[in-house]
Structure 1
């Protein structure tokens, strides 16, 4: 099947893979992102030759975007099996939301799937087959889009995304597409050609087929020049990230989930915008445009730390930027909706007579109470600390009320244990101030249940009657409701 004589392309590819392998522990297994195209076919074949089949796992993502996707999956599995390599695949749905390119959505879905496959198998190194031509195309695309340094830094030889199971490694990044094709031909590899790669309606394909060939004629070293640009941008971005970390140490609150409004707006525009970009990246958000970040900073300066944060109208990635009690944070939802804390003075008391409903939706608080019955005869009620005997619900009306301040509850089962303020309990459990505006459940005038804290032990009977059913209560924010 293969030639035994090593060609120059053979040596270049094997040396590049050997360098990447040398950076790993001697027994580490390697995940190879395997689409079945020429690039990933070369990477998998070379990885097997250098590391051995037992250390390699081929991971394939089925996007379902092409009528040939099933055939590609079968080809990839057969290719891996021929080399004795473990193979795993995952099917994904690619978002077709307005304003999001199919390319970007497919890339995002692919990386999420690959990371999940790595996590399932305990793999900590994910090899990707991008090469020097891909790097050059990415830098050109980012330049044409007006991207900042992070965009121009393009593809790093190795990086570890925040929260990802595996570090991403690009062993072939300094090799040309032509060199990989010569390796594949010399090894008589079979690969698939994605028909979408010829569609010049996609920006990257237009560059690949119409722009870079012309550049190669007039500027033969353009790939190396663009790679140097990416390297310089990456170095500059690292320095900006170092500065952002220094600023974040001064501005961060609640383990980085919020920022001090005063400290943020005390920074000059450049440092504040750099900090916002870095902070949003830590939160797992996609990058925001310069215009959106500039507008966010302008509005934060206008409202001031003690001003009306409800006038903020900044939405990004399904979240709204909020300012409340001197803190700036992101909340799931739309900025046109009231913030969670807005009803501290505006909500009316709502009441519900308990009739055994399984769920109680409270749109004012953007959440739902879920009631679940527990059969005492099954001996589970006594074992469940927050089980409430059904007789408690029969004492009076069950109502939901806003916090007014000064409420107290007892969380200890110890006889004679004192009650404590909700403020003190929230602080003790590290619950951020803006998450403390939750509906309190009352039986008549007795506080029964507080989301995030649990049942008030003071209202529970000392003993549950034999055979009496009990109920547990769970508060679910809208974001958690399927």
Structure 2
């Protein structure tokens, strides 16, 4: 799914509003512009309705009347055969809104979803058999890719929004597709609310309870995984010693670091794994491997990048995209002198490489060292770091070679390899400290 260039270049704004031109977003844009904030109205042309070109003109005119800047994007492409039009449009719309907001320098995007939207989302998710994460429906606020998506009216009934719009004489678009009974949400609106006019508030409350349950499950999973998976390996025997519900919760959380795993995969893994037995389960985007009673994620990549020079003499995260991970450099009481880390060669493993685990141990072949450390076969390819004289400094998954440790009276840095998922978590923690 791609989007064409924006209709015009806009000045930098701090607050963006997703503006379809309908009742809800028109009222939200009106309120936002009356707040005194610098506001940017963002419109997405889906190319699905013959009136869509006229809607762009209408939205640009209304934004100007309200005193907001305006940008619009037209989606390109079309749903694949058999795909949901709603899902295609939603995915493209979200990407287009993100791209326009960030291009304009906004870090807050307001959406006009209200209580009825939340209740409908809860019902649709329930009919799909969703767990608490799905039943939690839409969050009031969340950060994604550097942009805060906020729904300030999620507890407001639509009737109140309509009353506001009529009070201020606002004009809005009526999308004829809202009456199309082929679309699941429209069928729900046409049947559920007439039959249960008071059900909206109860269903929205159920979604709030589900949000609390999902938050609690995430907290428990975080606590469990701190002991079960401090690194890339998930301890399967320890996982199965948890209660079934808690084990399933922790496994789902661990899998979410790597893939969008279906519920059936979680159930199969818990049922099929046997202590001491290697096993493999295909998953979206890769494979899950049970090895030495640990569960590992493998994305299928086997070709190592060519050797390169890297500078790891400064603390921080140093991503190495070709290797699907990166080095975390930190100050440490025992480590390597920064001067030795200025110009390192990073390369794949070679047959003659040896690694020394501790000052009192002897160098072993890298294969033996990996086996002793329980590093699975698909994690043994590197990268390795060597200094300017060709001496081994560190190996991904094994750590620093003991022969590289600095004298105690020198400033020292530690090196630790993080796989992509762990690297992203560390980057997120650095951007959003507690």
Give the structure-2-normalised TM-score.
0.65
Residue 261 in 1 paired to residue 243 in 2? no
Structure 1 residue 189 displacement after superposition: 2.4
Residue 322 in 1 paired to residue 289 in 2? yes
Report the Cα distance in structure 2 between the residues aligned to 1:105 and 1:296, rounded to whole angstroms: 31
Aligned to 1:113: 96
CA distances 1:247-270 after superposition (whole Å, capped 9, x unpaired): 11111243xx54233433333321
Q: Secondary structure at the match of 1:129?
A: coil
Structure 1 residue 48 displacement after superposition: 0.8
CA distances 1:322-355 after superposition (whole Å, capped 9, x unpaired): 33455423333xxxxxx55xxxxxxxxxxxxxxx
Query: Could you tell me which of 194, 199, 203 is aligned with 1:222?
Result: 199
CA contact (8 A) 2:114 2:153 kept: yes
Aligned to 2:155: 174
Structure 1's 135 and 403: CA in aligned 2 closer, same or farther, altered over 3 A? Answer: same
Aligned to 1:390: none
Residue 407 in 1 paired to residue 374 in 2? no
CA contact (8 A) 2:193 2:200 kept: no
- 1:159-238 map, 5 Å: 159-161=141-143, 163-216=144-197, 221-238=198-215
The structure that has the greater radius of gyration is 1
CA contact (8 A) 2:348 2:383 kept: no
Q: Secondary structure at the match of 2:171?
A: coil
Report the Cα distance in structure 1 between the residues aligned to 2:366 and 2:124, rounded to whole angstroms: 52
Report the Cα distance in structure 2 between the residues aligned to 1:97 and 1:330, rounded to whole angstroms: 30
Q: Secondary structure at the match of 1:41?
A: helix
Structure 1 residue 111 displacement after superposition: 2.4
Report the Cα distance in structure 2 between the residues aligned to 1:263 and 1:117, rounded to whole angstroms: 46
- 1:58-73 map, 5 Å: 58-73=41-56
Report the Cα distance in structure 2 between the residues aligned to 1:98 and 1:253, rounded to whole angstroms: 43
Report the Cα distance in structure 2 between the residues aligned to 1:251 and 1:97, rounded to whole angstroms: 41
- 5+ residue gaps, structure 2, are 1-12, 309-342, 356-362, 392-434
Query: Could you tell me which of 138, 145, 149 is aligned with 1:155?
Result: 138
Structure 1's 407 and 452: CA in aligned 2 closer, same or farther, altered over 3 A? Answer: closer
For these two proteins, the number of residue pairs brought into alignment is 333
- 5+ residue gaps, structure 1, are 1-27, 333-338, 341-364, 372-384, 388-399, 410-419, 439-449, 460-482
Aligned-CA RMSD value: 3.7
Structure 1 residue 245 displacement after superposition: 1.0
Structure 1 residue 114 displacement after superposition: 2.5
Structure 1 residue 129 displacement after superposition: 0.3
Report the Cα distance in structure 2 between the residues aligned to 1:232 and 1:452, rounded to whole angstroms: 49
Structure 1 residue 58 displacement after superposition: 1.6
Aligned to 1:362: none
Structure 1's 232 and 458: CA in aligned 2 closer, same or farther, altered over 3 A? Answer: closer
Report the Cα distance in structure 1 between the residues aligned to 2:77 and 2:233, rounded to whole angstroms: 32
- 1:276-355 map, 5 Å: 276-283=251-258, 285-286=259-260, 288-299=261-272, 301-302=273-274, 304=275, 306-309=276-279, 312-316=280-284, 318-324=285-291, 326-332=293-299, 339=300
Residue 104 in 1 paired to residue 77 in 2? no
Aligned to 1:31: 16
CA distances 1:60-108 after superposition (whole Å, capped 9, x unpaired): 2333333444333333223222222122334445773577533233323
Aligned to 1:242: 219
Query: Could you tell me which of 44, 68, 83 is aligned with 2:29?
Result: 44
Structure 1 residue 366 displacement after superposition: 4.9
Structure 1 residue 180 displacement after superposition: 2.0
Report the Cα distance in structure 2 between the residues aligned to 1:181 and 1:148, rounded to whole angstroms: 33
Report the Cα distance in structure 1 between the residues aligned to 2:176 and 2:208, rounded to whole angstroms: 32
CA contact (8 A) 1:115 1:165 kept: no
Give the structure-1-normalised TM-score.
0.59
CA contact (8 A) 1:136 1:226 kept: yes
Structure 1's 267 and 203: CA in aligned 2 closer, same or farther, altered over 3 A? Answer: same
- 1:66-81 map, 5 Å: 66-81=49-64
Q: Secondary structure at the match of 2:290?
A: strand
Q: Secondary structure at the match of 2:196?
A: helix
CA distances 1:215-274 after superposition (whole Å, capped 9, x unpaired): 12xxxx2112112211222222222111111111111243xx542334333333211211
Report the Cα distance in structure 2 between the residues aligned to 1:94 and 1:211, rounded to whole angstroms: 33
Report the Cα distance in structure 1 between the residues aligned to 2:192 and 2:44, rounded to whole angstroms: 29
Report the Cα distance in structure 2 between the residues aligned to 1:401 and 1:248, rounded to whole angstroms: 30
Structure 1 residue 44 displacement after superposition: 0.4
CA contact (8 A) 2:115 2:154 kept: yes
- 1:374-389 map, 5 Å: none
Q: Secondary structure at the match of 1:160?
A: strand
Structure 1's 127 and 259: CA in aligned 2 closer, same or farther, altered over 3 A? Answer: same
